[in-house]
């Protein structure tokens, strides 16, 4: 252990700890801006400076390691003045339209200004014009609000190993963009949105599609159907200040009904369909031959990455549509027929933790009979804004229930939102079908947890099945490189583009670095899903009575001709 003092208090921490972390452990907050733990530790912004006795100048505490006998001062006049001046200089080059900024109230710069006592802007630039880049389906960049912290470029390069954004030019001209200032839509961005949730300001935000939904809700000719993704129920509460990991399923359903949707179904129900189809497909590939390892296809950011970087693996992808797309397809076929509504009059909205879903809904190979299954995909954040705009006091809402028909789901689908959840859900069904009996235990704990890569083997009659679960595209790359090199051998792989899976998607509520650096969002949100699963009576997709009914009445056999027509797709290199 290393012993030091911070503001005169004795502190003891392990070697290698930074001054910022040591202060935190002693209950002292050092403000920071560019620091994002494990992603961006570059000490560039100089907001986190402190005095260290004997050091020639102030030091950046986020990268400065502790040493024995060190004396640190985090709150001297010199420190306060330096932080204020640094922040004033950042603000001098920042377009401050806080009143109308999408990040207002959730902006780290705004919070810092308040915490550091900036009550006037001495060096305000003449009004800076917006610098909008909105070529991609999922994201809008406004560099007039960028503080050059480089958190976005770090996550894109390190966590995702996509690396399509970086610093262009030098000095006062430095700005974030793609190489040669090409538009984001022209490069290999996978639309994951991890850069958005890493951004401290309003420089990056999702493309807001709420107006399209308000318009549909106001159109009497439209029958508007909505379905939220598995993980949204355990994150939406954060938009309203609730603790991370609060399950608000009932309030969310009531909010959707009060917003005026004609039917509130559940994408969890579609996730059960995904398991039936994907499980059947996997067994068929095992028994009849087919490209192995089979790889899950629900994460559109991953699909895009696969198309761009591993086109030779496209045959390995499951042909199943994602639950989002199965949901839209079932609404516009089965539900439309049952209700006698022309699918062209149905407007399907999905609520997703994901920005890549905005890109997925418009993929042309999803088109059926002239319509696209999902009309608009909103992020959790956009739904939060709609609820606020409608004047619904979220914490006052009573619990509601999903509408029948496509609203009933099982615990297997609930856990889809966490990394390993799709694999576990599939195993619950596959193992039971193969062993032809009640399976115990129900939990496949080996594939749970937030590690980026997990593997396990299961003994099925006649063969061992080797599975792998990975999240974050840098991990996907490692696994795929290993598979191609013949070093890793799996039969079934789950890949989610976002680290930790959908609970940590790029469309999830914004949490400041001040929270993200110290709280494991992925683990807390996932825990809420596993807790919901534990409390459910039905926990295996094949036990869902709605599924059984829809297959009986409409789809025929899982993996059969009609199921293929409605629930599957194909990806072409």
Query: What CA–CA distance (Å, rounded) separates 473 from 478?
Result: 9
Per DSSP, the residues of 24-70 read HHTT-----SS-BTTTB----S-TTEEEETT-SS-EETTTPBP-TT-
The yes or no reply on residue 510 touching ligand SF4 (CB under 6 A) is no
Q: Pairing relation of β-strands 294-295 and 346-352?
A: unpaired
* Residue 10 per-residue DSSP state: E
The site string for ligand SF4 over 79-108 (x = CB under 6 A, - otherwise) reads: ------------------------------
Whose Cβ is closer to ligand SF4: residue 189's or residue 566's?
Answer: 189
Q: Given candidates 194, 325, 532, 541, which one binds ligand SF4 under the rule CB under 6 A?
A: 194
Q: 560 φ, ψ to 5°?
A: -80, -175
Q: Side by side, which strands form the sheet with 263-264? A: 263-264, 223-228, 346-352, 376-379
For residues 276, 366, 310, 483, the Cα torsion angle rounded to the nearest 10 degrees is 0
Whose Cβ is closer to ligand SF4: residue 192's or residue 465's?
Answer: 192
Is residue 439 classed as helix, strand or coil in its secondary structure?
A: coil
Q: Does the annotation mark 498 as catalytic? A: no
The yes or no reply on residue 357 touching ligand HC1 (CB under 6 A) is yes
Residue 271 interface partner, choices ligand HC1, ligand SF4, none, CB cut-off 5-8 Å depending on type: ligand HC1
Q: Given candidates 162, 286, 366, 383, which one binds ligand SF4 under the rule CB under 6 A?
A: 162
The two structure tokens encoding residue 472: 């974050």
Whole-number Cα distances in Å, 537 to 120, 405, 424, 544: 58, 18, 17, 10
Q: Does the annotation mark 360 as catalytic? A: yes
Whose Cβ is closer to ligand SF4: residue 156's or residue 331's?
Answer: 156
Q: Are 152 and 39 in contact (CB under 8 A)?
A: no
**Strand spans (E) along 116-221:** 132-133, 139-142, 166-168, 175-177, 204-206
The site string for ligand SF4 over 138-157 (x = CB under 6 A, - otherwise) reads: -x---------------xx-
Residue 322 interface partner, choices ligand SF4, ligand HC1, none, CB cut-off 5-8 Å depending on type: ligand HC1
Q: Does the annotation mark 25 as catalytic? A: no
Binders of ligand HC1 among residues 497 to 526 (CB under 6 A) are 502, 505
Query: What CA–CA distance (Å, rounded) separates 521 from 97?
Result: 30
Which window, 211-219, 352-360, 362-370, 437-445, contacts ligand HC1 (CB under 6 A)?
Answer: 352-360
Residue 156 interface partner, choices ligand SF4, ligand HC1, none, CB cut-off 5-8 Å depending on type: ligand SF4
10 Å Cβ neighbour count for 54? 8
Q: Side by side, which strands form the sheet with 139-142? A: 132-133, 139-142, 204-206
Whose Cβ is closer to ligand SF4: residue 139's or residue 320's?
Answer: 139
Q: Are 224 and 262 in contact (CB under 8 A)?
A: yes
Catalytic choice (251, 357, 454, 522) = 357
Q: How far is the CB of 352 from ligand HC1 (least distance, A)?
A: 4
Is residue 230 classed as helix, strand or coil in its secondary structure?
A: helix
Q: Does the annotation mark 161 as catalytic? A: no
The yes or no reply on residue 230 touching ligand HC1 (CB under 6 A) is yes
10 Å Cβ neighbour count for 49? 25
Q: Given candidates 47, 298, 468, 550, which one binds ligand HC1 under the rule CB under 6 A?
A: 298
The yes or no reply on residue 193 touching ligand SF4 (CB under 6 A) is yes
Catalytic choice (108, 206, 360, 382) = 360
Report the candidate in 145, 109, 119, 92 with the shortest Cα–Cα distance to residue 31: 109
Binders of ligand HC1 among residues 414 to 443 (CB under 6 A) are 416-417
Catalytic choice (133, 281, 382, 424) = 281
The yes or no reply on residue 508 touching ligand SF4 (CB under 6 A) is no
Binders of ligand HC1 among residues 247 to 286 (CB under 6 A) are 267, 271
Q: Does the annotation mark 298 as catalytic? A: yes
Which window, 83-91, 106-114, 192-200, 247-255, contacts ligand SF4 (CB under 6 A)?
Answer: 192-200
Whole-number Cα distances in Å, 454 to 162, 479, 553: 21, 10, 39
Q: Given candidates 31, 237, 301, 353, which one binds ligand HC1 under the rule CB under 6 A?
A: 353
Q: Are 375 and 227 in contact (CB under 8 A)?
A: no
Q: How far is the CB of 271 from ligand HC1 (least distance, A)?
A: 4
Residue 191 interface partner, choices ligand SF4, ligand HC1, none, CB cut-off 5-8 Å depending on type: ligand SF4
Which window, 63-71, 201-209, 229-237, 433-441, contacts ligand HC1 (CB under 6 A)?
Answer: 229-237
Query: What CA–CA distance (Å, rounded) separates 97 from 104?
Result: 9
Look-up of token digits 């039917």:
263
The site string for ligand HC1 over 464-503 (x = CB under 6 A, - otherwise) reads: --------------------------------------x-
Q: How far is the CB of 168 from ligand SF4 (least distance, A)?
A: 14
Q: Pairing relation of β-strands 204-206 and 139-142?
A: antiparallel
Q: Are 34 and 42 in contact (CB under 8 A)?
A: yes
What is the distance of C-alpha 347 from the center of its chain?
24
What is the distance of C-alpha 477 from the center of its chain?
18
- Nearest residue to ligand HC1 by CB is 502
Look-up of token digits 């090199």:
485
Q: Given candidates 190, 229, 317, 426, which one binds ligand SF4 under the rule CB under 6 A?
A: 190
Measured over the CA atoms of residue 382, residue 231, residue 223 and residue 137, the dihedral's sign is: positive
The yes or no reply on residue 229 touching ligand HC1 (CB under 6 A) is yes
The yes or no reply on residue 301 touching ligand HC1 (CB under 6 A) is no
Catalytic choice (34, 156, 298, 320) = 298
- Residues linked to residue 40 through DSSP beta bridges, in sequence order: 36
Q: How far is the CB of 544 from ligand SF4 (least distance, A)?
A: 33
Size of residue set near ligand SF4 by CB under 6 A: 14
Q: Does the annotation mark 357 as catalytic? A: yes
Whose Cβ is closer to ligand HC1: residue 178's or residue 276's?
Answer: 276
Binding site for ligand SF4 (CB under 6 A): 139, 155-156, 160, 162, 164-165, 189-195
Binding site for ligand HC1 (CB under 6 A): 229-231, 267, 271, 298-299, 322-324, 352-354, 357, 416-417, 502, 505
Catalytic residues: 278, 281, 298, 318, 357, 360, 365, 502
């Amino acid at each position: 252990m290393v012993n030091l003092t911070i503001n005169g208090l004795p502190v003891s921490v392990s070697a290698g700890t930074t001054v910022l972390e040591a202060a935190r452990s002693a209950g002292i907050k050092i403000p920071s801006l560019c620091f994002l733990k494990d992603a961006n530790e570059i000490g560039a912004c100089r907001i986190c400076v402190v005095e260290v006795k004997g050091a020639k100048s102030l030091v950046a505490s986020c990268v400065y390691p502790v040493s024995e006998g060190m004396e640190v001062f985090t709150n001297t006049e010199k420190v306060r003045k330096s932080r204020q001046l640094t922040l004033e200089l950042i603000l001098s080059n920042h377009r401050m339209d806080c009143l109308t900024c999408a990040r207002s109230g959730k902006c780290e710069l705004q919070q810092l200004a308040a915490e550091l006592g900036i009550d006037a802007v001495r060096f305000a630039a003449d009004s800076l014009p917006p610098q909008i880049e909105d070529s991609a389906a999922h994201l809008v960049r406004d560099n007039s609000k960028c503080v050059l912290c480089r958190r976005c470029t770090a996550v894109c390069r390190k966590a995702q190993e996509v690396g399509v954004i970086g610093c262009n030019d030098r000095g006062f001209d430095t700005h974030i963009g793609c190489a040669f200032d090409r538009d984001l839509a022209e490069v290999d961005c996978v639309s994951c949105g991890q850069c958005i949730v890493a951004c401290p300001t309003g420089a990056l935000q999702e493309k807001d599609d709420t107006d399209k939904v308000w318009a549909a809700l106001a159109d009497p000719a439209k029958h508007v159907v909505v379905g939220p993704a598995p993980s949204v129920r355990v994150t939406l509460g954060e938009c309203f200040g609730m603790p991370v990991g609060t399950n608000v399923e009932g309030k969310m359903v009531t909010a959707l009904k009060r917003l005026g949707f004609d039917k509130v179904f559940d994408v969890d129900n579609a996730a059960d369909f995904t398991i039936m189809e994907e499980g059947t497909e996997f067994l068929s590939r095992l028994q009849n031959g087919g490209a192995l390892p089979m790889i899950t296809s629900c994460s559109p950011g991953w699909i895009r990455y696969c198309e761009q970087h591993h086109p030779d693996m496209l045959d390995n992808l499951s042909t199943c549509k994602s639950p989002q797309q199965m949901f839209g397809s079932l609404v516009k076929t089965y539900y439309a027929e049952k209700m006698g509504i022309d699918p062209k009059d149905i407007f399907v909205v999905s609520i997703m933790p994901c920005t890549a879903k905005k890109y997925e809904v418009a993929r042309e190979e999803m088109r059926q009979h002239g319509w696209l299954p999902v009309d608009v995909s909103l992020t959790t954040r956009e739904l939060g804004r709609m609820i606020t705009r409608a004047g619904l006091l979220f914490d006052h809402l009573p619990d509601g229930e999903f509408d029948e028909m496509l609203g009933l789901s099982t615990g297997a689908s609930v856990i889809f939102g966490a990394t390993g959840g799709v694999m576990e859900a599939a195993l619950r069904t596959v193992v039971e079908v193969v062993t032809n009996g009640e399976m115990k235990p129900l939990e496949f704990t080996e594939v749970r947890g937030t590690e980026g890569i997990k593997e396990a083997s299961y003994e099925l009659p006649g063969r061992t099945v080797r599975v792998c679960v990975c999240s974050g595209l840098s991990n996907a790359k490692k696994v795929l490189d290993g598979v191609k090199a013949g070093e890793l051998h799996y039969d079934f792989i789950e890949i989610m583009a976002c680290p930790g899976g959908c609970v940590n998607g790029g469309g999830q509520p914004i949490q400041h670095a001040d929270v993200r650096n110290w709280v494991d969002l992925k683990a807390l949100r996932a825990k809420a899903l596993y807790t919901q699963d534990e409390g459910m009576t039905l926990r295996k997709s094949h036990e869902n009575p709605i599924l059984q009914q829809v297959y009986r009445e409409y789809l025929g056999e899982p993996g059969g001709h009609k199921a293929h027509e409605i629930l599957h797709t194909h990806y072409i290199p």
